[in-house]
Amino acid sequence: MTAFKRAGGESAPAGLQPDRRQFGRAVLTGVLVGPAALSAAGPVVAESATAAKRRPSAVKLAMQLGGNPSAEDLLLAKQLGVEYVTLWVGGKDATLENFRRLVDVCHAAGLKVWNIGNWAVHNMPDVTLNLPGRDKKIAEYLDYLRKIHQVGLRYTTYAHMANSVWSTGSEPIRAAAGRSFDLAKATDERWLNKRFGSPLTHGRRYTKEEIWDNYTYFIKRVVPVAEELDIRIGIHPDDPPGPELGGVPRCIFSSFEGYQRALEIADSDHVGLCLCVGCWLEGGKLMGKDVLQTIGHFGQRGKIFKVHFRNVNAPLPQFTETFLDNGYMDMYQVMKALREVNFDVAIIPDHVPQTVAGRRMGDAFGIGYMRALLERAEQEV
């Protein structure tokens, strides 16, 4: 019998060798995932805030895919044993029709969708800085919430940064490339083809009071719609969570105290955290409380809706993102803390270092490592 070589050189029967096109068709038709996964009527989507409170706690390992996942992407997610996926689109792709298509494609592959993010209403300077067109942008955000509600989604991630996620390049991490940031080298940043230059990204220096007032204006218009639609909004930390970048104070989502005040202003069960562990580790002592204390406080109050599970080599003023096992945080302690607060939402590997084998290899390493940590936590908690 003809044989093919596995990665380690071992031969396997030719009859077991996968054909990419056949696998792709099988994933999209549900052949590989079994009839049980496809038996429920309608799309398989994330549950509502109300339903989540009734379920027994369980950390849901999830995988982040692009805005148009291929059959191989979906098959890999199944092979890695994840139940949920998260997706991101933007601009002309943020349509009701496309959201329906994405949910259906993932459903056909036996996967549930935790959220479909929209880059166009994420990190909105119009809203954060009260620029011309603010109300129009808020209306666009509310329209986005209504669209994901129509396809059965009950969660979305939102970031409130006026001038984006900042990086200053990449650094080698175990011979891979990890995103890095050095405050001394931070001169400009780009977001959705917009360039934000230093020292003042928007022409002047803003006050903390302005940033807080603008957040309050936004969230007070969003909460009634989120509650009506039963959609939870997880707010992502500033990245990096410095006191100020480009003349804009990062005074809200860069500390424990800032989050506490922001959630009090929102005053809603439907507004909470998308807890990026990496961002919290970037901030270090600037955050006011460490990541384990933060999980304990907000987790016990049911305010953590999603987690980005990643590690860095050091806190500010300079850091590089690492693999989960070689940063300065013991990630088992993070997983154990999540399990101790009966964490019942999705957790994904994020900002995976770039390996010679591409993004999929990094994702596979991350998911496998997370699964091992979770199994240990389940035994100990």
Percent of the chain with pLDDT over 90: 73
Residue 306 has pLDDT above 90, yes or no: yes
Establish if 360 belongs to a structural domain: yes
The mean pLDDT of 187-191, rounded to a whole number, is: 65
For the cut 70, the answer to whether the pLDDT of residue 302 exceeds it is yes
- What band does 162 get if pLDDT is binned at 50, 70 and 90? very high
Mean pLDDT of the 348-370 span: 92
Q: Are 275 and 312 in contact (CB under 8 A)?
A: no
Mean pLDDT of 258-263: 98
Section 320-333 average pLDDT: 97
Residue 199: pLDDT band by 50, 70, 90 thresholds? confident
pLDDT (average), residues 226-253: 96
Average pLDDT over residues 295-304: 95
- How confident is the model at residue 26, as a pLDDT? 43
Q: Is the residue at 19 inside a domain?
A: no
- 59-102 pLDDT, tens digit each: 889 999 989 999 999 999 999 999 999 999 988 999 999 999 99
Residue 326 lies in a domain: yes
Predicted confidence (pLDDT) at residue 57 exceeds the cutoff of 60 = no
Q: In terms of pLDDT, which residue wins out, 31 or 354?
A: 354
Domain count, the chain: 1
Classify 335 as helix, strand or coil.
helix
Q: What is the mean pLDDT of the chain?
A: 86
User: Does residue 49 lie in a domain region?
Assistant: yes
* Arithmetic mean of pLDDT, 108-118: 96
pLDDT in tens, 201-234: 899 999 999 999 999 999 999 999 999 999 999 9
> Does the structure show a pLDDT above 50 at 138?
yes
Task: Specify if 62 maps to a domain.
Answer: yes
Residue with the bigger pLDDT between 85 and 187: it is 85
User: Is it the case that residue 321 has pLDDT exceeding 90?
Assistant: yes
**Identity of the residue numbered 278:** G
Angstrom distance (rounded) from CA 313 to CA 2? 47
For residue 167, which of 182, 155, 156 has the smallest C-alpha distance? 182
For residue 8, is pLDDT > 90? Answer: no
Name the pLDDT band for 30 (thresholds 50, 70, 90). Answer: very low
pLDDT of residue 41: 38
Contacts of 262 (CB under 8 A, 6+ apart): 215, 219, 235, 252, 253
Residue 149: its pLDDT value, please?
98
Identify the pLDDT of residue 194: 66
Tokens representing residue 30 in the block: 């549900």
The dihedral built from the CA positions of residue 36, 39, 44 and 49, taken in this order, carries a sign that is: negative
Name the pLDDT band for 372 (thresholds 50, 70, 90). Answer: very high
Which carries the bigger pLDDT value, residue 89 or residue 188? Answer: 89
Q: What is the pLDDT of residues 273-291, one digit of tens each?
A: 999 999 999 999 999 999 9
- What's residue 191's pLDDT? 54
- In this predicted structure, what is the pLDDT of residue 358? 85
Which residue blocks in the chain are alpha helix, DSSP H? 20-29, 49-54, 71-79, 96-108, 125-128, 134-150, 208-229, 256-266, 277-283, 291-300, 331-340, 359-380
Query: What are the C-alpha distances in Å from 354 to residues 203, 321, 368?
Result: 35, 11, 17
- Cα distances (angstroms) measured from residue 117 to each of 10, 92, 192, 248, 348: 41, 13, 14, 24, 14
Range of the domain at 277: 41-161+211-236+250-313+321-380
Q: Which of 241-250, 288-297, 342-351 reaches the highest mean pLDDT? A: 288-297
Mean pLDDT of 46-63: 60
Instruction: Output the pLDDT for position 344.
Output: 73
| Residue 206 belongs to some domain of the structure | no
Domain CATH for 255:
3.20.20.150
Q: Residue 33: inside a domain, yes or no?
A: no
Of residues 317 and 58, the one with the higher pLDDT is: 317
In a domain, 336, yes or no: yes
- Angstrom distance (rounded) from CA 149 to CA 136: 20
Q: How far is CA 26 from CA 13, 31, 113, 310, in A?
A: 20, 5, 19, 32
